Amino acid sequence: MAHAFDLVIVGGGIHGVGIAQRAAAAGYRVLLLEKAAIAAGTSSRSSKLIHGGLRYLETGQLRLVRESLHERTALLRLAPELVRLRRFHIPVYADTRRRPWILATGLALYAGLAGFAGGAGFGLVPSKEWGALDGLTTRGLERVFWYHDGQTDDAALARAVWASALRLGAEAALPATFISAERRDAEVVVRYAADSTLRECRTKVLVNAAGPWAAHVAREITPAIPVPDVELVQGTHLLLQAAPPARGIYYVESPRDGRAIFVMPFHGALMIGTTELRYRAGPDEVTPTAGESHYLLGILRRYFPDVAATGTASPPRAFAGLRVLPGGPGHAFHRSRETHLAVDREQTPRVISIYGGKLTTFRATAAQVLRRIASSLPARHAIADVDTLPLTPA
Ligand SMILES: Cc1cc2nc3c(=O)[nH]c(=O)nc-3n(C[C@H](O)[C@H](O)[C@H](O)COP(=O)(O)OP(=O)(O)OC[C@H]3O[C@@H](n4cnc5c(N)ncnc54)[C@H](O)[C@@H]3O)c2cc1C
């Protein structure tokens, strides 16, 4: 007879491992299926920020910002070796669209939503210190705001969460590719390929945490389940062999379209990102484009001309990831970053799919997923509390 689990999770990104850890801590039998490696997808290609998302205030996403800031506080406590507060700088020039009063209002609101917890302060960098800001051009500079937010290594964080899940008894088929699933009234039969063999297992709930592949996975489930209207939007970062900023992270505005861009240190390199490019091919083929590189280097030249001159002596490395955003008209920059959970049926769901979301809020999303499927799961005894389990580099 096929093995039986409480949860089978497709996808070893931050959402899959976060749900695996929380479910295993709650005493459930968990199997994770991951076709490549932990964090091989989006969860190693993000901007690596554990943040409330200051710019989401512009689109009124207050609930998301408050929840993210709450999660930032939790991750700083649980994973101090993996998540660190960094000083962010926002320069304002004569031609910057976001004027100082807007930024000051936003930063005050941001601090308030963080509950004035650690790292919630902000202020202005005195003009006599502008010359020490990592080569930031001072021509036309009017103000420089500072505040704090979190930075991590996204893949290392996902591996740490997965290591914790393993310690709590979660099982994995890795690599293993989900092939199809059949929903029955009281269980789901899952087929997957591992070691060139087609395997089968049974589960009370199938969790589709396949990130940009989630719609593909959902379409392989019978009887068919609704697949929401989502759009994939590519985001690219460049890594330059230039001196990484030593004073923190810079939050600059693209002169072309007003988008907010980060310039930051990452593992000894200078990282700049990101872009937003509508994406229509299969998620496996995502790759940075020459146009994105040109766009990002143009912004670096505008704000850090000397750094750009030395940093582009050798071609930059680049990586691209895919956001899963709600479909619809208008620019992706203004679309909701909320996580969307879709179930196959309201009562005792057998399949739950996660569309979109943030690295920062993975713990909250995992908690939401478990609450949503609780009625479909058997009674089990919790063996640990994830709110007190430290996350350490694996
Ligand atoms: C450019 C960019 C920048 C971002 N920056 C930030 C940021 O700074 N801060 C923040 O909080 N969030 C950020 N995000 C959002 C965040 O990165 C994502 O929400 C998060 O990583 C998504 O994780 P996931 O687990 O849903 O998906 P993924 O990490 O993509 O994981 C899905 C996994 O499913 C596996 N899979 C797919 N199909 C199958 C199959 N058939 N069988 C088995 N396995 C399968 C894949 O191999 C993959 O590992 C950013 C996103 C992008 C694109």
Handedness of CA 81, 85, 87, 91 (dihedral sign): positive
- Which of 358, 361, 363, 365, when mutated, tests ligand 1's pocket best, judged by the most ligand atoms within 8 Å of its CB? 358
42 Cα: distance to centroid of ligand 1 (angstroms): 3
Evaluate if residue 116 carries a pLDDT over 80: no
Strand partners, 140: none
15 Cα: distance to centroid of ligand 1 (angstroms): 8
> What is the tens place of the pLDDT at every residue in 293-345?
999 999 999 999 999 998 877 889 999 999 999 876 666 666 677 789 999 99
Residue 56: what pLDDT?
86
Ligand 1 close to Cβ of residue 274 (< 6 A): yes
Evaluate if residue 363 carries a pLDDT over 60: yes
Residue 2: what pLDDT?
58
> What is the tens place of the pLDDT at every residue in 45-79?
999 999 988 888 988 889 999 999 999 999 999 99
Evaluate if residue 1 carries a pLDDT over 50: no
Ligand 1 close to Cβ of residue 16 (< 6 A): yes
Q: Which residue has the tokens 């010359």?
A: 131
Evaluate if residue 390 carries a pLDDT over 70: yes
Average confidence (pLDDT) over 273-302 = 96
382 Cα: distance to centroid of ligand 1 (angstroms): 28
Query: What pTM was estimated for this model as a whole?
Result: 0.97
Residue nearest to atom 27 of ligand 1 (CA): 211
Residue 199: what pLDDT?
97
41 Cα: distance to centroid of ligand 1 (angstroms): 5
Structural domains of the chain in order of their starting residue, each with its CATH number? 3-43+155-229+337-376 (3.50.50.60), 74-149 (no CATH), 230-326 (3.30.9.10)
Ligand 1 close to Cβ of residue 49 (< 6 A): yes
Ligand 1 close to Cβ of residue 311 (< 6 A): no
Tell me what percent of the residues of the chain surpass a pLDDT of 70: 97
Ligand 1 close to Cβ of residue 150 (< 6 A): no
> What is the tens place of the pLDDT at every residue in 24-44?
999 999 999 999 999 999 999
Ligand 1 close to Cβ of residue 180 (< 6 A): no
Average per-residue pLDDT for the chain: 94
Evaluate if residue 246 carries a pLDDT over 60: yes
Question: Rounded to whole angstroms, how far apart are CA atoms 300 and 298?
Answer: 5
